[in-house]
Structures are given as C-alpha cells and as structure tokens.
Amino acid sequence: MAVKVQKHLKPQIQNKKVKLTAADHVFNICVNAFMVFILIAIIIPVWSTVTLSFRPADFLGTNLEGMFLPPWDWSTDAYTALLGNDGFLDAFLNSFKILIGGVACALILTVPMAYVLSVQSLPGRKIINMIVIIPYVFNVGMIPAYLLVKDIGLIGHLPAVFLPGAISTYNCIIMRQFFVGIPNELKESARIDGCTELQVLFRIILPLSKAIVMTIGLYYGVSFWNDFFNAMLYLNDNYPLPILLRNILLASGMNEYVEVSAFGNAPVNAIKAASVFMSAIPMVIAYPFIQKYFTKGTLLGSVKG
C-alpha cells in the first residue's frame, strides 16, 4: 500500500516544448545568417588558395574563373616541384624539428613552473609571481636577447628559435590557474601517503590536467611552427619553412628568380599557394585530435583561481 502511495505522490514530469516567440525566431535567423556569412568568409580564401595551387601554367583566366576551374583541368606541377626540391624538404624538416623540440622543451619547463606557482604554501609565492609577470609587461628588447643567445653559443642552431620563448608567461599563468583549481585535498592526501612533490605532480596533477596540457601544447606548437622573426634573426642557414616562403615571396615580387627558378616550370603563384597550403597541413592534422581539450582547457585555466 505504501508503494502505491509513493507512486501516487511522485510528481509527473511532462515533456513540453518551449514555444518560441517571433523575437526568438528573428534572433535565430540573424544568428544563422551571421554564421553562414562567417563560414563563407573563411571558405572563399581557403578555396582560392587551393585552386590557385592547382592552377596550370597555361591558364589565362581571371582569379574568379580560376576558383571555378574544374578538377580535371587542375595541374599538380606546383606540388611536384615543391616535393621534388631539396630546399623545400629541408625547410619542412627543420620546421618539424623546431616544432617537436620546441613543444617538448616548452612543456617540460612550463608545467613545473606553473605547478610551483600554484602551491599556496610556497614561501615568497607573491614575489616569484611578480618576477614572472614583470618580463611579460616590460620586454627586454631585441638587442639584449640577441647578445644573450650569442653568448650562449646558439647562433646558427635550431634551438635558438624556440629556447628564447620556451616559457610563455601567458601560457604559464593559464596553466597555473588550472592547477590552482584542482582540489587541495587530493594533493594533501598524496603527501600524507608519502608522495614527494614530483610524485604529486606526475601522479595526481598531470593525469587531471590533460586538457590544459594539450591546449598549451597547441599554443606552443602553432607559435613555433609559424615563427619567422627568431629564425631570421638567429639562423644563418638551415632555414625553416617560413623563411623559405618569405624568400619565394620576395623573389616573385622583385622579379628575382633565384629562389623561384629552383622549383621548375610551375607558375610562381601556384608555388606560393601550394607552399602555404602544405605548411598548414601539420596544424590541420593535429587540431582535430586536440579540439576536444581546447575549449575545456582554456576556460578552466582562465576562469578558476
């Protein structure tokens, strides 16, 4: 009998759809139209670059006509010239070395630094935070940085591209705020069980921080892959891909065919477009695997604290 009473007293939940007003419909239409506009604004330049990279040398139409060139009239001369050129492959390999070495070095340095700054009981924590933030606000300048890299003996070596920016203050602060948001009870229980601070970091903190580590790793990866200024400043040879693209642009813009002629008979514009498209491939491949961590890591790292 008691069971029947409970069933009788149990509230009945009805699934009712919320009726949208005219203002809601207008708002949804405006939002959808705006998103379609943004999508078109993104797709048009990408599609233009792709079709330009496949454009044959004997094409005489306008850029708009080239965007609608049928695939059976496309030419792969630009990609064949790039992949068959030792300079492009060497530059791509150098960029890949900078990417892997830079991300690994940056995470190895940033993760412990952020964890140390997140420890509330650290003596002098506020002073250390100020020391970390001051260089972020007041940059030392290009000449002191160059002299430092030169005195270390990194001029002409690939580590000179990523070591000066191995720790980003902005990324370190985001990761620190994420670590602060992890409950202290987990850390204290691990310390009571006899874990050292390194064991707390590797056994407790990092397994719970996969989102922020992947997000910060993506930030560093994009920065190192696209780094142009440090490579131009510190490297004498073994240039990465951004420097090669710069040389191609300068050679084509100044009618100098020293760099461009090394890529065969493919059109200069097609070579430039193919270079841009191929240089974006690593980031395009990596982003779908990191996307699920991206929003979560950024929001938690920037809000908590």
* Residues 6 or more apart in contact with residue 211 via CB below 8 angstroms: 178, 293, 296, 297, 300
Cβ-contact 131, 190 below 8 angstroms: no
| Number of domains within the chain | 2
Q: What is the mean pLDDT of residues 248-263?
A: 56
Is residue 275 a part of any domain in this protein? yes
With 0-12 / 13-18 / 19 or more C-beta atoms within 10 angstroms meaning exposed / middle / buried, residue 154 is middle
The C-alpha atoms of residue 232 and residue 239 are separated, in whole angstroms, by 8
Is residue 286 a part of any domain in this protein? yes
**Nearest alpha carbon to residue 106 among 168, 169, 177:** 168
pLDDT classification of 161: cutoffs 50, 70, 90: confident
Instruction: Give the Å distances, CA to CA, from 59 to 43, 71, 78, 79, 267.
Output: 23, 13, 14, 17, 10
pLDDT classification of 302: cutoffs 50, 70, 90: very low
- 17 versus 88: the higher-pLDDT residue is 88
Shared domain check, 69 and 35: yes
Report the share of the chain in percent with pLDDT over 90.
5
Shared domain check, 281 and 134: yes
Question: Mean pLDDT, the chain, as a whole number?
Answer: 78
- 296 versus 133: the higher-pLDDT residue is 133
Is residue 84 a part of any domain in this protein? yes
pLDDT digits (tens, 9 = 90+) for 269-285: 777 788 788 777 777 78
- pLDDT score of 33: 92
Shared domain check, 158 and 110: yes
pLDDT digits (tens, 9 = 90+) for 54-105: 877 777 767 777 777 777 777 777 787 777 777 778 888 888 888 899 899 9
Shared domain check, 193 and 112: yes
Shared domain check, 171 and 289: yes
CA 24 to chain centre: 36
- pLDDT score of 12: 53
Shared domain check, 144 and 233: yes
- pLDDT score of 30: 92
The C-alpha atoms of residue 111 and residue 212 are separated, in whole angstroms, by 10
- One-letter identity of residue 115: Y
- pLDDT score of 265: 64
Shared domain check, 62 and 141: no
pLDDT classification of 258: cutoffs 50, 70, 90: very low
Q: What CATH code is carried by the domain that includes residue 125?
A: 1.10.3720.10
- 106 versus 266: the higher-pLDDT residue is 106
Is residue 216 a part of any domain in this protein? yes
Is residue 14 a part of any domain in this protein? no
Shared domain check, 165 and 152: yes
Shared domain check, 180 and 219: yes
Is residue 227 a part of any domain in this protein? yes
- pLDDT score of 304: 46
Is residue 19 a part of any domain in this protein? no
Q: What is the mean pLDDT of residues 19-39?
A: 86
Shared domain check, 173 and 90: yes
Shared domain check, 141 and 70: no
- One-letter identity of residue 32: N
Shared domain check, 106 and 60: no
Cβ-contact 275, 248 below 8 angstroms: yes
- Mark which of 75, 108, 141 sits at the end of a domain: 75
pLDDT classification of 14: cutoffs 50, 70, 90: low
Give, in degrees to the nearest 5, the angle at Cα 137 between 131 and 143. 95
- pLDDT score of 305: 44
Is residue 58 a part of any domain in this protein? yes
pLDDT digits (tens, 9 = 90+) for 32-52: 999 999 999 988 888 888 888
- pLDDT score of 292: 67
- Mark which of 75, 108, 143 sits at the end of a domain: 75
- 260 versus 164: the higher-pLDDT residue is 164
What residues make up the domain containing 150?
80-303
